[in-house]
Structures are given as C-alpha cells and as structure tokens.
Structure 1
Amino acid sequence: MRKTMKKLLTFGLIISMIGALTACGGSKSGKDEAEVVPETTAEETAVEGTTTDGNLNVHIDVEVASMDPQIATDGTSFEVIAAITDGLYALDADGNPVEAMVDTVEKSEDGLNYTFTLKDAKWSNGTPVTANDFVFAWRRAVDPAVASEYAFIIGIAGIKNADAIAAGEKPLEELGVTAVDEKTLKVELDTPVPFFESLMAFPTFYPVNEEFYKTAGDQYATTPETLLSNGAFVITSYEPATTTITLAKNETYWDAANVKLSGIKYQVIKDSQQAMLAYQNGDLDLVTLSGEQVEQFQADPEFKNIMAGYLWYVSPNQKIAGLENANLRKALALAFDKEAVTANILKDGSIPAYFAVPALLAIGPDGKEYREAAGSNYFTADKAKALEYWETAKAELGVDKLTYTMIVEDTESAINVAQFLQAEIQTTLPGITINIEQMPKKNRVERMQEGDFELGLTRWGPDYADPMTYLDMWTTDSPNNYGFWSNKDYDAIIESCKKGDLALDVEKRWQALIDAEKIVMDDAVILPVYQKGNAIMQRTSVQGVEFHSVAINRYFKNATKN
C-alpha cells in the first residue's frame, strides 16, 4: 500500500508541474539587487582549494534545536540525529524500510506482534546496543514527565497502551515493548499498522543507552561528551544553537566498511547569498538556493531540483480575539496569491498549496495518489471573495479594523514570504494590519507551542507516508494544534481511523481521511501557502546523497566524495 515519492510521480511530471508554475505572474520579492551573485556557473567560480578530503560540507539554514531523539521536533535535528544513530530500520534510496539494528524479525499473522532480533552492534563508548535501549527510549517518549512533543507518534505506531500512558492513565511499564533478553525485542500493538516498519526509521523510535543517559543527566545530548552514537558517524563538535556541527566516521559502526565519507561538517548560513559564496569558494559541497539564485544557476550541471513533502502554512491562533471567526480566517486564506509566492519569490520548485495534505505523500487502496483521490483545491486566491468574507466578519465582530502580528523564523525565504503575505493581505483587506516579528526557528516553535502568538508562519514535514501524519495534528488535544481549533466530529473520525472501526477497513478509512481534510479546509483551520521544493547545488564529485520527501530529508551514509 505504501509507496514513496519516486514511485508516486515520474520525474518528468514533477518538472512539468514546476514549469507550469514558473509562468505565473505576481509581485517581486523585495530582494536588494546589489546582493545578487553574478550570473555564472559554480564551476567557473569554484576555487582551486575545494576540499577533497572525504569530509562532506553541508549547508543548513537553521540551527539544530536538539540532538535528543525523543525531544527533537524539527527536520534539521532529525537529519543530524539520523546520521549518528541507527534505529530498528532505516530508509533505502527509494524510501522503503530496510533493517538497520534489526537482524531478523518475526511478525504475527494478525499484525499485532513483532519480535526483533538485534544485530551485534556497539555504542561509540564500546557498550553493546541492547533491546533495553529501545525499551528505555520508547518509555521516555511517552513519559508524561518528559513531555515529548512526539509522544503521539508512539500511539500512531499502534504500540499497546501508548496513548493511555502519555495521558497519565497507565504506568510506563505497561507500554507494549519488552526486552525478552539482551538481543530480543518484543513489540505489541493495539491495532495493525500497515506502515509500522517505516515508522521505525523515525528518530523518536531510536534507542538510548539508559546508563549513559542517567550519567549525563540534564546535560544529555548537549555536547559531544554527552552523546553516544551507534550510527555511521559520531559527533565531534556541537553545542545547542551553534553554527557549525562536525561529525566523523564511526570506525566501530557495524557497517563501517560501506561508509566512504571521512565525516560531515554542517554549516548554518541563513543568508542564501552568503551560502552560495561559500559554495563557490569551495567551503560547501551541498547548498540550498533561493529566489533569484535559481534562475542564475539552473543551467549549471551541479543544479538539482527536488520536491519535498513540507507544507508551509499560516496558523491563526483562535484564542486571539477575531481569529475565532471563520469568515475572517477565510478572508485571510483567500487574500494572497500563492502562485506568485512560488513563481516569483521562492523559484525553487515549490508549488502552491491548496490543501492540508501535500502531494507526493501516499498511495491509497485504489492505487491513486492521495491528492488525485482527494481532488478538491481549497483557497485558490480570490481577492473579491476575500473582501466579501472580510465585510461579513466585520459585521459579526463589530469592528472596522484589526491588527495582528505574524511570527516568522529569521531565514531569508521565510521573511520574504511573510513580507509578501503582509502586503497582499493589507492591500486586499483594507483595515487589517499585519506586523511581522522575526526570530530563530527554535523560538518561533516554542512561542507557537505555548500559544504565545497571533499568526504564525510555520511548516510541517511528513513523518510517515500516510495522510494521518498531517490530519492528526488538528485533533483537539494534539500538541501541534497550534491554533487551538476543536471539532468533536473531526476528532471522532481521526480516532476511528487510528484505532476504531475505520482502521480495519482500508477503503473506508481512506475516504474518511479525505472527508476529514475537507472539514479542516472548510473551517480555515490553517491558511496553506506552499509545498516546499528544494533547489540545490551539489558538487559532481559528491554522489550517493539520498533525498526523501518523508521522515529524514537527507541520508549521507551511502554518500561518496571524490
């Protein structure tokens, strides 16, 4: 039932989608033309000192927020955690689950029991990786005292009693995971989950050595000395919010013979022009482009365009006066031109988002990709209709003017998009003022989690290949329901799709998920903006980097650099 991006759409179809979008009109970004990199190829400007030492130099545009697999919530952190840690499974080049720590697996016919035998593998301090490392980690994830934002995903995996434990209704010891012996892990599910093995590649399910964790205490995962690796690389330099993170090959890794890189150096560069200059100077091997850079370098042989699964949207906090009004939210959702965002600001292969569940995610029981099956487009820009909704909202709220602040992370692309939305909304809806507050991504996420915001430009990447990875977010008690929307009928549909009658009927479940998305969109719970595409430069000397639209965005274990 599950298929990956490569199996969902051909490359030609993706390119045709991108090509169609680049013809769309709209406002230009406010980029200073003086900052634009001269129009030339990367090869013409790369210096002779380009590194060829077997270390891969990678650009990231936000800091790593956490290296704790049960605490991390963002894609950048997940990527680095996955580079130093193996879970039960990893994803292959096509996005399919393959054994990592698993040596053999036995599955019951009813899909409710898995028995894993682990490989003989060691942590970087020489201690063996054991079944208890998984038991300890998974219990941490659902422990109310830990308050992991990803506790919900243990329940999504169907692990017995996960939700009840996370809610404080049952003790940790009743979680459906048992260390039968040092190398045997037994997992019990409440209900069969067809994508269970794929979920096991997600960082929240990664193991943690209990003794080491307790020795590190509150400092766990904050420095190289308080981190252990059982993966392809070990971390050698890291501090929270640092701008450089270095990894070295893990010589004691169980599959070290197949790891060709000497190490990885991540560099946080938020300004895309500075990042491209670093690439041209030979300081980076992989860099993400934005805006005008895409046009400048798209003919370069090192240019690549990759569709990602991230959905960017504005979340209105419905606890803020006015934003509880559905007509106001609809006015905001229709007030801006998404095609102008993707074609004139981002220019990186991103596509307009007329949905809450992105394209390229999953195939249904009918063999159709989810977006093809769902069909409908929601909130195509209609400024006249937006104004009608605004007039209705003003009458209902008894106001003529409203002012809101939109919080946004301090990356170049996010700021440019926010400024465009600000201008479009203020022009389309006279009387509405949008202020913008910039901050590091970690701060923006914390503010939204705490409800300390009015509007937030945010994003969500799929953790697994099923629409539930998005739709579960808007249930009443979800920690990712930043807007505090609540709908009992919606909650009931999602619960039944996870563990009720609908979970046992794949066709009815699929249609119910389509219906649930319609509820979210009809009530303007979120204001979708775009689905992310990535325009990158990758040196021809670098091969084997694996890109995924689900879970871990980039894998470097099989990469080489000549």
Structure 2
Amino acid sequence: MFQLDKEKNRYIIICNSKWGKLSYISKILLDSFVYNHRGDNMKSVKKLLALVMALSLTASLMACGNGNSTNTNTTKTPETTAETGKNLKVQFDVEVASMDPQIATDGTSFEVLAAVTEGLYSVDEAGSPIMAMAESVDKSEDGLNYTVTLKDAKWSNGTAVTANDFVFAWRRLVDPNTASEYAFIAGIAGIKNADEIAAGEKGIEELGVTAKDDKTLVVELSHPVTFFESLMSFPSFLPVNEEFFTKSGDKFATSPDTILSNGPFKINSYEPAATTIVLEKNADYWDAAAVKIDGIQYQVIKEAQQTMLAYQNGDLDVATLSGEQVEQFKGDAEFNNVMAGYLWYISPNQKIPGLENVNLRKALALSYDKKAIADNILKDGSIVADFAVPSLLATGPDGKDYRETSETYLSTDKAKAVEYFNKAKEELGKDSFEYTLIVEDTESAQNVAQFIQSEIQTTLPGFKINLETMPKKNRVERMQNGDFEVGLTRWGPDYSDPMTYLDMWTTDSPNNYGFWSNTDYDAIIQSAKDGDLSLDPEKRWEELKKAEAMVMDEAVILPVYQKGSAVMIKSGVEGIEFHSVGVNRIFKNVTIK
C-alpha cells in the first residue's frame, strides 16, 4: 500500500512484512521523483504512482508475500529461474537487432554473436588479435596471401567447423543479394574482388577466399592490410554452416533452433526483439574447459531506475548507470568507469530542404553545450566530441594516438552559431525553420535529445526542433532509408584505424545517412584503402586527417560526445573484458566466486 507522508512530501510503502530493499525503493524510485516534481499537481501524483507500480510490482509482491524471489517473466525455463550462482546476468539498454552475423550492424547484436560464434581470430584482454578457429597461419612475404589451418572444432549440432563455413559466410557477406550493410568491410580487409562483387561487377565465386580442403582456408588480398588479423575477429567475418543455413531458410538466426554455435556459449532462449536472451555453456566448444560459468542471461532494461532496482535486488550482475545514478554510486566498490569508442552525433539529412545549407548545419553544430551533456546529463565518463574520429582508437606511424596530432572542430560557440544562422536565413530566404529529430527510446538518448532540443531553440530563435522516439532498430531503419530529417545516432569502431569512421561518409556508403557527396573526399578514402596512399603509411595518415577536416568543415555530422560507460559489476564477478573497438564486452573468461 502507498501512503502520503505530507511532512516529508513523499510516498512511502506500507507492508506487513520486513524487506531490506524497501529503503532503496523509497530512495531511488520515490524521493528522487518527488524532488524533481515538487509543487506538481495531482497529474504528477498519478504519474508517480504509475511509475512505482510499473517498476515495483515484483518488489511489492516479495515484500508483502513470503519473502521469496519471484521471476515475473512470462516464459520460464530452468536456466532463467535457477540461482546457481554461475549464470552471469547482464543488462542491455537496447534489443538485439539480429543474430545473423552477415546482417547484424549494432554493438548489442555483435556482443551476443561473439559469445556464441567464433571466427578465425578473437582478441585478448589488451585488444590484440589472437588465433581462435585458426590453429596456425602462414602469411606470404608480400602480405597478400594468408593460408589458415583450422582447429579441430565442432558446431553445436556436432558437425565439424570447416574452411567452407568461412567461404560460404564471406561470399554471402559481399553478395548483393544479401544486401549486407557491412559488405564494405570485406573491401576494407583487402579481400580480393570484394568491392567489385559487392558492386555487382563480379560473381561471388571470384572472392579471394577458397577452401583448399576441410581444414585449410586460403585468403587472397588485393593489397596489404596491416590490421587484417584484427578485422578477422569482427562479427561480419564469423562462419556460417551452409547446410544448416539452407535448411533453416528464411528463419535462419531467429530462434535457438535456427542458430548454430561454435563459440563459448550457445543460445537457449531467443527471439527477435526479445527482452531476455539466455545463453548456456557450449559443451562442444573447442576450449570449453576455459569457460567457467554456466551461461549468460541478458535482460533488456531501458529505464535507469528500473535497472538499478534489478541490480540491487540481485537480478543483474552487470548494469550500466546514467545521469544522477553515476553521482550516487561512483564511490561504491562495485562501480567501474570505462571509456568506449562510440561516437554519438547528429546526422542532418541533406536531401531535406534547408539542411543542404552548410551555414545552417554549422549553426546547429555550434548551438548546444556539449560539456553540459557530458558532465551534467551523462556523468558516465563521456567526453566532449569536437571531432569525427574518436580518441583511443588508433595509433599512427609516429606512435601517437590519432587525436594527439589532429585538430578539433565545431566546438560549442553560441555567438558564432547565431552568425551562421543569420547567414543561412539570408541565403535560404527564411526566418524560421522546423525539423524533427528522431532518437532511440533509451533514457540516456532521450535525455540528451531533450537537452539539445532546448539548447538549439534557445540559442537560435526561430528554430524549432520536434522529437520523435522509437526503438533503436526502427531509428536505424529510418535513417538508412532516408526517412528522417535529423537523427541522433552513434557509431562504434570496427577496427583500429581512422578509416572505420571516415569510410562512412563516402558517396555510396550505406552509413552516409546525410547523403553528402564530395569527389575529393572519396578519392582520398579510396586511395587510403587500396591505392597509392595504402603503400605510404605516413602520407596516408596525414591525408586521413585532411579527410576528417573536410567532413567537419562542411558539418556533414554534428558531433556530440564520445561515450564513456559507468558500469556496476557485482563483487566476485571477474574476467569481463571491455574493448573500445569491435566487440565491446567479452565474457568468455568470466568467473563468479
């Protein structure tokens, strides 16, 4: 029962039994809400009650019942309800979009894919490539040929992992009929004929990858790629068993029965857009003896308060904090701060009237306080982004981080923003503008979007920003299809080179959401990939800096922040590997004491 304590202006929970977490609910769910809504009318009281009822249903039942923990998921399995102490319970704030390695594009999907499927290489704790399915690798002196001998390994249905599993998967990646958004990465890896096949100019059988026999894979490159081994750990290059794929048909990768594993874990419970995903240890994995936990239980929880309630209640071992929670828990022994490689930015669709004007885009880019976003809204270690290529991504030929020797761009300057706005109004013959910013429905993304909305409208009188929220998958689809005006989006690095960002803004890139086109820019990127620049590391590095300057000078994107992560990890949980490139979290070596 809820009762109003008028003296302290808060609601408290009255119950006939004692429960240690009640004080936590009062503090986190009730006091913080009432503090932020002091003086509100009865509508706010109803909102409060709705919030508490939604977030505390399980807690109330536990407090007023027999005190036993109850799992309220509609689908229960022994794996999701058993408290063995050996299942790692991890929170996501967005759903897994796809479990198809050649279709998946987001970090959440990549994380689960990497837990159940293993490629030629993985990475160690420091992020350096280590052989996984590869038993040995023979590299030619010119760096153009790799002969890979595979380990004796099995899929979770008992069939052997073969070289053809890689040939089939990689051909499928570049096949235009697959329409993979990551087809370009095969060209980044330098695999012979990859770009031509993706463009429909050659057949998939001409891809530079062949199965010499079941245990021997031969890879031909069109030019040397120094980070080739690192790229081989990326999920787009994961193997797929052709016979299993064919048998699964259109349902491939949509359920435990249509997902095959050769990695540390295998799928126990999954369906598209599910809010819970359950993995169990894969007994057929070649290195199963090294896996010390029984499985992983992923839960999608988007709301910050609900996440921390679940963590405090023991329903999560790993949870991500945001906003005020960071201040509250940063002194806790279980608090961890991790710098990630994700760049959050606003993409203006230049096909929308007005947004083709560079002065209008610059006005937007300079109008919002990025430091306030990082320090006052996120508070999770995120830093201001005045760049298109993040820090801690790649080291140049000089041994220095890319950002150490690069310029900064589009730093917040509200007075300058007004100057650009006035120029844009004159050039476009308009005094007012109105656009809709699409944003995913996570709490942190919405908080950032609301702040940016307020900042733009305050700094640039006559400029109105509407907000439209939706699940991440829908937001990505809308931006890919050009069905948006302005979008708040993010990109995580796939490999340790500036190209993982700069390649996005070439004319034909599927990730060029703003539809910007510059022939000089395209020429630099192409040469840096497989032309003269690719053979001259020092010159290539400097030309990539020029390419970044082009993107920033034309405000192709409006950078906001480089993501940091404030993570709570239960004491006794050890061995989680955090990476700023590729797969962000790896759980193979986790132990739970």
Over residues 351-385 of structure 1, what are the superposed CA-to-partner deviations in whole Å (9 max), with x where a residue is unaligned? 000000000001100111000011x1111111110
Q: For the residues of structure 1 that align with 2:401 and 2:488, how far apart are their CA atoms?
A: 27
Q: For the residues of structure 2 that align with 1:528 and 1:51, how far apart are their CA atoms?
A: 44
What is the letter of the counterpart of residue 189 of structure 1? L
What is the letter of the counterpart of residue 551 of structure 1? G
TM-score, length-normalised on structure 1?
0.92
What is the letter of the counterpart of residue 453 of structure 1? F
Deviation at 1:540, TM superposition (A): 1.1
1:483 aligns with 2:486: no
Residue 8 of structure 1 aligns with which residue?
Answer: none
What is the letter of the counterpart of residue 198 of structure 1? S
CA shift in 2, pair 1:382/1:221, >3 Å = same
- Output aligned runs, 1:137-216, within 5 Å: 137-216=169-248
Residue 252 of structure 1 aligns with which residue?
Answer: 284
1:503 aligns with 2:534: yes
What is the letter of the counterpart of residue 76 of structure 1? T
Residue 25 of structure 1 aligns with which residue?
Answer: none
Q: For the residues of structure 2 that align with 1:499 and 1:398, how far apart are their CA atoms?
A: 44
Contact 1:407–1:438 (8 Å) recurs in 2: yes
Residue 558 of structure 1 aligns with which residue?
Answer: 589
Instruction: Select the residue among 493, 510, 523 that pairs with 1:492.
Output: 523
Bigger relative contact order, structure 1 or 2 (CA pairs below 8 A, ≥6 apart): 1
Deviation at 1:31, TM superposition (A): 11
- Output aligned runs, 1:117-516, within 5 Å: 117-374=149-406, 376-516=407-547
CA shift in 2, pair 1:274/1:30, >3 Å = closer
Q: Which runs of 4+ in 1 moved over 6 A?
A: 29-32, 34-37, 47-50
SS at match of 2:197: helix
Q: For the residues of structure 1 that align with 2:98 and 2:523, how far apart are their CA atoms?
A: 33
Residue 36 of structure 2 aligns with which residue?
Answer: 33
1:524 aligns with 2:527: no
Q: For the residues of structure 2 that align with 1:31 and 1:428, how far apart are their CA atoms?
A: 30
Over residues 434-485 of structure 1, what are the superposed CA-to-partner deviations in whole Å (9 max), with x where a residue is unaligned? 0000000000000000000000000000000000000000000000000000
1:546 aligns with 2:583: no
Q: For the residues of structure 2 that align with 1:109 and 1:539, how far apart are their CA atoms?
A: 48
Q: For the residues of structure 2 that align with 1:249 and 1:289, how far apart are their CA atoms?
A: 28
For structure 2, the 5+ residue unaligned runs are 1-31, 38-47, 53-66, 70-81
CA RMSD, Structure 1 to Structure 2 (Å) = 1.6
User: What is the number of residues matched between the two proteins?
Assistant: 524
SS at match of 1:515: helix
Residue 22 of structure 1 aligns with which residue?
Answer: none
Q: For the residues of structure 2 that align with 1:30 and 1:379, how far apart are their CA atoms?
A: 36
Contact 1:30–1:416 (8 Å) recurs in 2: no
What is the letter of the counterpart of residue 580 of structure 2? S
SS at match of 2:544: helix
SS at match of 2:513: coil
Over residues 222-247 of structure 1, what are the superposed CA-to-partner deviations in whole Å (9 max), with x where a residue is unaligned? 00000000000000000000100000
Deviation at 1:53, TM superposition (A): 2.2
Q: For the residues of structure 2 that align with 1:60 and 1:370, how far apart are their CA atoms?
A: 30
CA shift in 2, pair 1:541/1:33, >3 Å = farther
SS at match of 2:326: helix
SS at match of 2:540: helix
SS at match of 1:315: strand
Residue 135 of structure 2 aligns with which residue?
Answer: 103
Deviation at 1:51, TM superposition (A): 4.7
For structure 1, the 5+ residue unaligned runs are 1-28, 38-46
What is the letter of the counterpart of residue 316 of structure 2? L
Q: For the residues of structure 2 that align with 1:276 and 1:30, how far apart are their CA atoms?
A: 15
Residue 79 of structure 2 aligns with which residue?
Answer: none
Deviation at 1:33, TM superposition (A): 3.4
SS at match of 2:437: strand
SS at match of 1:408: strand
Q: For the residues of structure 2 that align with 1:51 and 1:536, how far apart are their CA atoms?
A: 22
TM-score, length-normalised on structure 2?
0.87
Residue 14 of structure 1 aligns with which residue?
Answer: none
Over residues 371-430 of structure 1, what are the superposed CA-to-partner deviations in whole Å (9 max), with x where a residue is unaligned? 0011x1111111110000000000100111110000000000000000000000001011
Deviation at 1:184, TM superposition (A): 0.2
Residue 56 of structure 1 aligns with which residue?
Answer: 88
Q: For the residues of structure 1 that align with 2:256 and 2:348, how far apart are their CA atoms?
A: 39
CA shift in 2, pair 1:104/1:86, >3 Å = same
Q: For the residues of structure 2 that align with 1:380 and 1:95, how far apart are their CA atoms?
A: 31
Contact 1:52–1:561 (8 Å) recurs in 2: no
SS at match of 1:144: coil
Over residues 325-352 of structure 1, what are the superposed CA-to-partner deviations in whole Å (9 max), with x where a residue is unaligned? 0000000000000000000000000000
Deviation at 1:541, TM superposition (A): 1.1
1:66 aligns with 2:66: no
Q: For the residues of structure 2 that align with 1:381 and 1:232, how far apart are their CA atoms?
A: 45
